[in-house]
A and B are shown apart, each in its own frame.
Chain A
Amino acid sequence: GQQVMQIPQYQHVQEGEDFTTYCNSSTTLSNIQWYKQRPGGHPVFLIQLVKSGEVKKQKRLTFQFGEAKKNSSLHITATQTTDVGTYFCAAVPDNYGQNFVFGPGTRLSVLP
Chain B
Amino acid sequence: ETGVTQSPTHLIKTRGQQVTLRCSSQSGHNTVSWYQQALGQGPQFIFQYYREEENGRGNFPPRFSGLQFPNYSSELNVNALELDDSALYLCASSWYGTPPTEAFFGQGTRLTVV
Q: Which residues of A contact B (CB under 8 A)?
A: 1, 6, 30-31, 33, 41-45, 48, 50, 88, 90, 92, 96-105
15 more contacts with CB within 8 A, not counting A43-B43, A50-B99, are A1-B59, A33-B100, A33-B102, A41-B107, A42-B107, A43-B92, A48-B99, A48-B100, A88-B43, A92-B100, A97-B55, A97-B56, A98-B31, A102-B44, A105-B41
Instruction: Give B90's nearest chain A residue, CB to CB.
Output: A42
Q: Which residues of B contact A (CB under 8 A)?
A: 2, 31, 33, 35, 41-45, 48, 55-56, 58-59, 90, 92, 96, 98-108
CB pair A99 B107 closer than 8 Å: no
A90 to B43 Cα, complex, angstroms:
9
CB pair A102 B43 closer than 8 Å: yes
How far apart are A45's CB and chain B's nearest CB, in angstroms? 5
Residue numbers in A under 8 Å from B48 (CB-CB): 98-99
Partner of B105, one of A30, A43, A103, A105: A43
Q: Known contacts A88-B42, A104-B41: does B58 contact A42 (CB below 8 Å)?
A: no
Q: Known contacts A31-B100, A42-B108, A50-B99: does B42 contact A104 (CB below 8 Å)?
A: yes
A92 to B90 Cα, complex, angstroms:
18
Closest 8 CB pairs of A and B: A102-B42, A99-B56, A42-B105, A31-B99, A45-B102, A98-B100, A102-B43, A104-B42
Report the number of A-B residue pairs with Cβ-Cβ less than 8 Å.
64
CB pair B56 A43 closer than 8 Å: no
How far apart are B100's CB and chain A's nearest CB, in angstroms? 5
Instruction: Give A50's nearest chain B residue, CB to CB.
Output: B99
Best-surrounded residue of A42, A92, A100 (most CB of chain B within 10 A): A42
A102 to B99 Cα, complex, angstroms:
16
A9 to B108 Cα, complex, angstroms:
23
Residue numbers in A under 8 Å from B58 (CB-CB): 1, 99
A104 to B96 Cα, complex, angstroms:
25
Instruction: Give B6's nearest chain A residue, CB to CB.
Output: A42
CB pair B105 A44 closer than 8 Å: yes
